[in-house]
Amino acid sequence: MLEVEALHCGYGALRAVQDLSLRVEAGRITALLGPNGAGKSSTVMAIAGHVALSAGDVRLDGESIAAASPVERTRRGIGLVPEGRRVFSDLSVAENLLVGGYVHGRDAARARESRVLALFPRLAERYRQRAGTLSGGEQQMLAIGRALMADPKVLLIDELSLGLMPAIVDQCFAAVLDLVREGVAVLLVEQNTQRALEHADSVVVLVSGHTVYRASGEESRRDTGLVDSYLGLREAG
Amino acid sequence: MFHLELLVVGLIWGAMYAMMALGLTLVYGLLRILHVAHAGVFALGAYAGVLTANATGSLWLAVPAAIGVAAAVGPLIYRFIYAPMLSRPPYVALIASIGLFIAMEDGFRLLFGPYGLPFDYNPWFVTTYSLGGISLNVVQIAMAVSTLVLAGAFGVFIAATRVGVAWRATVSDPQMAQSFGIDPVRVRYLNFAIGSAMAGAAGLLVGLLNNLVEPGMGAVVSYKGLAIIVLGGLGNVPGAVVASLILGVVESFGTVYLAAVLDRDAIAFAVLIAVLLIRPRGLFAPAR
């Protein structure tokens, strides 16, 4: 569904990501792991169209979207849950969802909104509340819900669990697994490698912008050395 | 009674400040630019109004002229002055804005003379009504009413319409708003058009109230506008409205009780300094 091929990107002379290739299939989770500053967020933002590619290609259903604007990518099915959630803090939950569905017009938005509220009943409870006053977990749900309002085929999630209580992390993962079962393709960036490995169908590990490990979910779960070799930084620190 | 009158006159003057300051605080909220040339748009609205009124003999025609010209010029200022400078540090746009304001002031002076233009016929200035014992002329009533109507309409627009929500989303996080299909450039044009329309209306009303439109009329309002948006909490729209009303009332009482020590136009800054000593981020600091 989503193919990233030989992607290079970064700000200015600093190349954040070098020669990265990965695929995300419908109804599957690809986990993009690695220590802080490895280039995971740059990759996500490049796929969403907010960071320019210096080389390589991004394809959705076989068609290149590398030249498309961020809006165009949203319209074609790229959904973004950005690092730090970035909900519109001055807007209510309802208004955040409205903006999420902006590309598809009013009527489509109404139908999608009821699905989002069914997936995250907490958002229905907080419907008129300002997003800035929500808890971290609720903001995460809102960031996911907002992305879902545009009816994405691929969901890019930059840190699902960062800073959340374990019970909330469970809820968020459960919701994402629901979406995956419905056929959404998910690219999951995580610092919480344990949780990501549990659910991933394929795994790519970045260190300083270079791909250092690539395997199926099965293989990576059997590979006891993986966490120690590349992902131990967080656990150690 | 006397105090009530001071209060009412102060609120009316504050309402005019609010009309002016709204555009300033909107520009600051969206682009982080101190739009000093907004005061030039204010004077431009007054000129468009007085020229139209004197040419046609109709004050009613002056209203759409003032609002229309200001609403057209505001977006042009964005397009040709600020847009090319957005990638530069904000003080670059600030300096350009001050330059534009001075150029506009001197342009008015060159075109229309240094002493300004009076209205040939200004019935609104001389017609007064007595409301509950307080005597107000039609211009003062118009200031109060138009601020209520314009600020109210703007409040409804920003709170309850799809475009208003898109606008606030853009102020909150332009990049995310853009990725969900909101065109930030269109929001900016709209921002400048609406803010400038209100400044043009305020300019016309001040011109009518003084029965004179003169080149420097924007200057005092300009620095007071800056004081107001700082007091209101930079970029905070309701804060700017409340700060405007407070300043109007404080000035109104100040001209009576502080006249011996402080000029009317210095009061804004005395208030600004006093408030910033206690609340460094303004009376109504923005959220977060």
Which neighbouring-strand residues pair with B186? none
The mean per-residue pLDDT over the stretch A145-161 comes to 94
Inter-chain CB proximity B176 and A150 less than 8 Å:
no
Q: Which residues of A touch B182 (CB under 8 A)?
A: 99, 102
- Strands of the A154-158 sheet, one edge to the other: A78-81, A154-158, A185-190, A29-33, A202-207, A210-216
Cα separation, A31 vs A199, whole angstroms: 9
pLDDT tier at A224, thresholds 50, 70, 90: confident
Question: Distance from A231 to chain B by nearest Cα, in Å?
Answer: 30
ipTM of the complex: 0.88
Inter-chain CB proximity A71 and B288 less than 8 Å:
no
pLDDT at site A133: 95
Cα separation, B205 vs B220, whole angstroms: 15
The mean per-residue pLDDT over the stretch B53-67 comes to 95
Assess whether pLDDT exceeds 60 at residue B288: no
Q: Which residues of A touch B178 (CB under 8 A)?
A: 70-71
Please check whether residue A143 touches B, CB under 8 A: no
pLDDT tier at A12, thresholds 50, 70, 90: low
Cα separation, B201 vs B197, whole angstroms: 6
Of A80, A99, A132, nearest to B182 by CB-CB distance is: A99
pLDDT at site A235: 43
Please check whether residue A150 touches B, CB under 8 A: yes
pLDDT per position as a tens digit, B214-258 = 999 999 888 899 889 988 888 888 899 999 999 999 999 988 888
Question: Distance from B183 to chain A by nearest Cα, in Å?
Answer: 9
Range among A3-17, A117-131, A185-199, B125-139 with highest mean pLDDT value: A117-131
Q: What is the mean pLDDT of chain B?
A: 91
Inter-chain CB proximity B169 and A88 less than 8 Å:
yes
Inter-chain CB proximity A90 and B178 less than 8 Å:
no
pLDDT per position as a tens digit, A70-92 = 999 999 999 999 999 999 999 99
pLDDT at site A237: 34
Assess whether pLDDT exceeds 50 at residue B287: no
Q: Which residues of B touch A145 (CB under 8 A)?
A: none
pLDDT at site A14: 65
Please check whether residue A95 touches B, CB under 8 A: yes
pLDDT at site A220: 86
The mean per-residue pLDDT over the stretch B264-273 comes to 84
Q: How many CB pairs (< 8 A) connect A and B?
A: 62
Domains of chain A: 1-77+154-237 (3.40.50.300), 84-151 (no CATH)
Does B182 or A106 have the greater pLDDT score?
A: B182
pLDDT per position as a tens digit, B151-198 = 999 999 999 899 999 999 999 999 999 999 899 999 999 999 999 999
Q: What is the mean pLDDT of chain A?
A: 89
Residues 151-210 of A with CB under 8 A from B: none
DSSP string covering B47-114: HHHHHHHHHHS-HHHHHHHHHHHHHHHHHHHIIIIIGGGTTS-HHHHHHHHHHHHHHHHHHHHHHH-T
The mean per-residue pLDDT over the stretch A40-57 comes to 91
DSSP state of B213: B
